[in-house]
Homo-oligomer: A and B are copies of this chain.
Amino acid sequence: MEQIETDGTTAALTGSARAVFRRLVEDGPSTRPQIGNALHLSRPTMSAAIAELERPRYVEMIGAVQGSFGRSAAQYRVGSGAGHVIAVDAGSTHVRVRVSTLDRRLLASRILRLPASQIAINEEVSRAVAAEVAAARAAALPGWGPLRVLGLALPTRVVGLGGDVISTRQEVVFSAFTPPPGVTLVLENNVNCAAVAEQHYGAARGASGFAYVQIGLKIGMGLVLGDQLIRGRNGAAGEIGHLSFPFAPGASPVPGEAEHYLGTEAFIGRVRADWPEIAGPSPIDTAELLSMAESGNADALRHVERHASDIGAVVATCVSVVDPGLVVLGGGLGASPLLLPGVREAANRLSYPVEIRNTLLGTDATVMGIERLAIEAAMTLLIGEEA
């Protein structure tokens, strides 16, 4: 009943072998005794598991580690048979690509700056993705093993097969880009990706629930509750840019108005309209406004404070709905420590106690998150049912 894996499909592995493989993927190179102790596996079981995993080159020995006494221990890592993944962040200003093994050793990375900021995903972005993926694949070496999964982070809502694909613009990314056949495709919203990255590698490491709030050209949120990413029925969970606004007695709320009020365009517009002539030239964009505020400009500081307070009110709304306990601020404005105190004050004044932190990953968060999701999908392919 031996299942010969000619291509990259699931080989029938024993439970302990799966656990060992997962451990090597998650925690990087380890010696046999380290793995055995961590997973509470006996040495014979470790021997059997390693033997199982070495046959399809899922793992490979990379050396021996000598302790103070005794025989040296063999060290293993994920092997070439496990293959690799390509992670792509198709953003509005850049296309970022990471090619990595399942244990996140970087095989190649590319960054393309788009000629102009693309407000929505379009054919230009699609062409750029096609070119970058082709370039990454052309550089492939035999030691990379098979390509298991291609992950794509998109600045749109993303719905699965059952959903209403038309209403999202997610298909536009394929207008000029044909994904390689036979490779599993993983699509995810870019803010959700950033949240995943913060959860595993960034400011939310160790938290079982938190909200990642992106504050930039658009505003959005990625929600992780009970250790799992919340996507929503229409892929719209966390679409706080779509909150209706204003919300007051007698007022007529307009859907999506929160984004128009809180996005950088409207924000910088209000700043410039309100800028006193004697204070010199008004800032041209939020980056300039931030640097003016950093150097102590009182008018700039006042506007940043005000915006932080507005963001805090939105954060408070989210806190009242899901009570995540932790909020990580990201995106162009959210990465700045200047907004942090204002958001923190407003959110805690208006709702339940919540910790607020800045991103630790910055612009790399999205591509790291889609990389993580691609690796998880590859693990499901290889050993089934990632725990």
Interface residues of A (CB under 8 A from B): 164, 209, 221, 223, 225-226, 228, 230-240, 242-249, 251, 253, 255, 261, 313, 316-326, 349-354
Contacts and interface: CB of A to CB of B under 8 A. Distances in A.
Contacts of A234: 323, 325, 352-353
Given A255-B350, A321-B238, A249 B246 contact: yes
State the 6 A-B residue pairs at the shortest beta-carbon distance, nearest first: A232-B323, A233-B325, A246-B248, A236-B323, A247-B247, A237-B323
A203 to B, nearest CB: 16
Which of A246, A313, A350 has the most chain B CB atoms closer than 10 A to its own CB? A350
A243 B325 contact: no
A328 B238 CA distance: 20
B325 A232 contact: yes
Nearest to A250: B246
5 contacts: A233-B354, A236-B319, A237-B321, A246-B247, A321-B322
Given A233-B325, A236-B351, A237-B322, 20 more contacts: A225-B225, A226-B230, A232-B325, A232-B352, A233-B323, A233-B352, A233-B353, A238-B321, A242-B352, A244-B317, A244-B351, A245-B247, A246-B251, A247-B248, A247-B317, A248-B251, A253-B350, A255-B350, A317-B321, A321-B322
Contact of A225 (B230, B253, B319, B353): B230
Which of A221, A231, A244, A313 has the most chain B CB atoms closer than 10 A to its own CB? A244
Contacts of A261: 249
Contacts of A324: 232-233
Contacts of A225: 225, 230
Given A322-B232, A323-B239, A255 B353 contact: no
A240 B351 CA distance: 10
Nearest to A235: B323
Nearest to A323: B232
Give the interface SS of chain A, mostly helix, strand, loop or mixed: loop
Contacts of A233: 209, 323-326, 352-354
A244 B322 CA distance: 14
A86 to B, nearest CB: 28
B350 A320 contact: no
A209 B235 CA distance: 13
Contact of A223 (B243, B249, B322, B351): B322
A357 to B, nearest CB: 14
Nearest to A349: B255
Contacts of A247: 245-248, 313, 317
A230 B316 CA distance: 17
A225 B234 CA distance: 13
A322 B322 contact: yes
B236 A320 contact: yes
Nearest to A326: B233
Contacts of A349: 255
A41 B321 CA distance: 43
Contacts of A320: 236, 239-240, 242-244
Nearest to A346: B253
A233 B319 CA distance: 10
A321 B321 contact: yes
A324 B350 CA distance: 24
A192 to B, nearest CB: 12
Contacts of A223: 321-322
A320 B322 CA distance: 12
Nearest to A211: B321
